[in-house]
Amino acid sequence: MKTEMHNPASDGFASENDNFNNLNALVIRLRKEDDSLAKKMRNLKWLYIVMIIVYSGLMILNPDPDLKLHDRISGFCYVSAFIIFAVLFKHKIRDFSKVDYSVSSLEMLARAAHRYRFSLSQFFFVLPSILLIDAGFSISLFHRLTSLSPLNRILILQAFYIPLILVSGFIGYLIWRRKHKPLYENAKELLKELKE
């Protein structure tokens, strides 16, 4: 007598089990990446704190009479930018190190999608630091290019700085697309499936 194999999909269990397995796999990946990002951002925060101390000592508090006013203003711009970066990393460390996985699956996935999304609005948070570094960089070198007119000095400095920032931003996007976009898309996909 031939015995037919039972197909779990006919009872509607296969999809549910698939979602459960996919969710567990995603949570493991999220935990690993959350921990990794929190560690990297913690290291970057301390790097900026060290740079704040060094630049403050060398370019702002340094009593050396050979240090010109524009050097001190440039140093102040750098230190201000580093302080903003340190504060931003402090908030990001909190976001990635204190993730609550005990909440409902829907809420956990929504938060994960939010953490790993790519949004140009995030650029505005770092824009003040970018502008301050630009100001410090320009003020520092402006007085060295004495053979050029003031306008040409500014144009040359910006022609160097702006492409550097654009390339850095593009590299950041490529890193997100390779490492974080799959997490974002998986979270969004599972979230959609669980809502159906």
Q: Any idea which residue has 């201000």 for tokens? A: 80
Smallest Cα–Cα separation from 105: which of 4, 13, 194?
194
pLDDT tens digits for range 69-93: 999 999 999 999 999 999 999 999 9
Q: Between 6 and 125, whose confidence is greater?
A: 125
**Any domain includes 26:** yes
Residue 12: what pLDDT? 43
Q: Percent of the chain at pLDDT above 90?
A: 63
1 falls within a domain? no
For the chain, what is the domain count?
1
- Name every residue whose Cβ is closer than 8 Å to that of residue 141 and which is 6 or more positions away in sequence: 153, 157
**C-alpha distance from residue 172 to each of 52, 168, 169 (Å):** 24, 6, 5
**Does residue 7 fall inside a structural domain?**
no
pLDDT value of position 102 = 87
- Whether residue 171 is predicted with pLDDT greater than 80 in this model: the reply is yes
Higher local confidence (pLDDT), 5 or 119: 119
Kindly state whether residue 86 falls inside one of the protein's structural domains. Answer: yes
Percentage of residues in the chain having pLDDT higher than 70: 90
Residue at 6 is within a domain: no
How far apart CA 27 and CA 102 sit, in angstroms, is 11
pLDDT for position 143: 82
- Domain extent, residue 136, equals 14-195
Could you tell me if residue 167 is inside a domain?
A: yes
- Tell me, yes or no, whether 157 lies in a domain: yes
Residue 115, pLDDT score: 92
Identify the pLDDT of residue 22.
84
| Mean pLDDT across the chain | 87
Q: For position 18, what pLDDT does the model report?
A: 61
pLDDT at 17: 61
pLDDT for the residue numbered 10: 41
Q: What are phi and psi of 195, to 5 degrees?
A: -80, -20
**Res 11: pLDDT:** 43
Q: What is the pLDDT of residue 193?
A: 87
Question: For the residues 26-44, what does the mean pLDDT come to?
Answer: 94
Q: Is residue 95 pLDDT above 50, yes or no?
A: yes
